[in-house]
């Protein structure tokens, strides 16, 4: 059984009580050119790396305004799991990530999960070991995290 919640990545993780970066957080299409397209943990990130103000989003009707779930891949190796609650984005968990080819290695609570990923047609698709897929259908700008959840 996959350790990820397919309805929401990382819902069972402990929340960080102190968040140092409130404000604009987010994914750029230029793949963090300052380090050649790699996150600091190594490997090509193929469009995963997020810049301020953007995030991979999914859920809802697929539009940025209706999205309910999001992921922010930061160039320092942090993976922010965000969700829209009461119509505002809130931080749900902070994890770590790195890539190796088209493999996405995510560490949650000291456990590492190996996921295949694909970025195409503006969407991010994650394929888990059991074959289930989770798609974040677009990158949206203007994502502002205003607190933590719960």
Domain spans of the chain, in order of start: 23-102+137-148
Residue 27's pLDDT band, with cuts at 50, 70 and 90, is low
Name, in order, each residue with C-beta under 8 angstroms of 25's C-beta and a sequence gap of 6 or more.
Answer: 50, 52, 53, 55, 72, 74, 80, 143, 144, 145
Residue 56's pLDDT band, with cuts at 50, 70 and 90, is very high
Taking residue 2's Cβ as centre, other Cβ atoms within 10 Å add up to 12
| Residue count (the chain) | 150
pTM score, two decimals?
A: 0.72
Residue 148 and residue 35: Cα distance in Å, rounded?
30
Residue 84 and residue 140: Cα distance in Å, rounded?
13
Between 4-13, 88-97, 112-121, the lowest mean confidence (pLDDT) is in 4-13
Between 18-32, 37-51, 69-83, 94-108, the lowest mean confidence (pLDDT) is in 18-32
Handedness of CA 16, 72, 136, 66 (dihedral sign): positive
Residue 118 and residue 110: Cα distance in Å, rounded?
25
């Amino acid at each position: 059984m996959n350790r990820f919640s397919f309805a929401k990545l990382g819902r069972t993780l402990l929340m960080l009580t102190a968040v140092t970066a409130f404000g604009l957080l987010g994914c750029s299409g230029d793949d963090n050119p300052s380090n050649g397209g790699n996150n600091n943990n190594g490997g090509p990130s193929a469009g995963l790396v997020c810049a301020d103000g953007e995030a991979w989003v999914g859920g809802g009707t697929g539009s940025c305004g209706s999205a309910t779930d999001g992921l922010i891949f930061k160039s320092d190796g942090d993976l922010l799991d965000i969700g829209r609650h009461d119509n505002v984005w809130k931080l749900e968990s902070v994890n770590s990530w790195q890539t190796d080819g088209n493999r996405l290695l995510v560490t949650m609570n000291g456990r590492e999960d190996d996921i295949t990923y694909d970025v195409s047609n503006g969407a991010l698709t994650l394929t888990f070991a059991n074959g289930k897929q989770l798609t974040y259908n677009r990158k949206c700008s203007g994502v502002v995290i205003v607190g933590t959840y719960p």
